[in-house]
Amino acid sequence: MLVLASQSPRRKELLERARIPFTVRVADIDESVHPGEAAQSYVRRLAARKAMAVSRAADECILAADTTVVLDGEILGKPEDEADAVRMVRALAGRSHEVITGICLRYRQDLFIDASVTRVDMSPMSAAEIDAYVASGEPMDKAGAYGIQGIASRYITGIEGCYFNVVGLPVSLVCRYLRKIGLL
C-alpha cells in the first residue's frame, strides 16, 4: 500500500488520475532552506525528511515530495503574503525558470531519493495582469506563486520536461520507482 506524506490536493489528484491507490498521512516538518543550500539538495532533503516523519506498517511504502521554483539561483517557495506573490510573479514574468520536485519513497529498509527538473517559460505580464492574478488567490499556496494548471496557464509559453512535475509530482518518475520495488 502506498502512503502519500502530503496534504497537497494537486499530488492527491495526480495519483488518483494515474489510478494509483494510496492513503494520506501528512508529514509536519520544518521546510526552511539552509544557508547556501542548492535547490535540488533542498527538495531532496525535504522529501526524505517528510518520508521519515510518517509512521508506516511493514508492507507500506511512503511517498513524499517537495516542489520549488528556482529563478537565477534563488529558491522561490510559497509566498508569505500578497506582496511577496506580486514580487515573485513580477520576477518570473517574461523569463524562463526551473521547477524542481524532490521525491522520496521509503519502502522496507530502502530510501529512494530523486528529483525532476522542468524548465518553464512565462510570457511578459503587465502590472494589472500580475495584480489581478494575485488577487485571484491562486498563487498563495504554490511554490513560485503560480499554478501552471490554473489561471497562470494563460502566461505559460512553453515547458521543457515533465508537466506533472510543475503541478507538483513527477508521476512517471514515481512510477519508475514503484515498478522497481514491485508495487506497480
Query: H or E segment at 125?
Result: none
84 φ, ψ (degrees, to nearest 5): -65, -40
Write the DSSP assignment of 49-102 as a string of letters. Answer: HHHHHS---TT-EEEEEEEEEEETTEEE-S-SSHHHHHHHHHHHTTSEEEEEEE
CA distances from 45 to 23, 31, 136 (A): 22, 10, 32
Active-site residue flag, 114: no
User: What are the strands, taking DSSP E only, across the chain?
Assistant: 2-4, 22-24, 61-71, 74-76, 96-107, 110-122, 156-160
Q: Which of 28, 30, 66, 81 is catalytic?
A: 66
Q: Which residues are catalytic?
A: 66
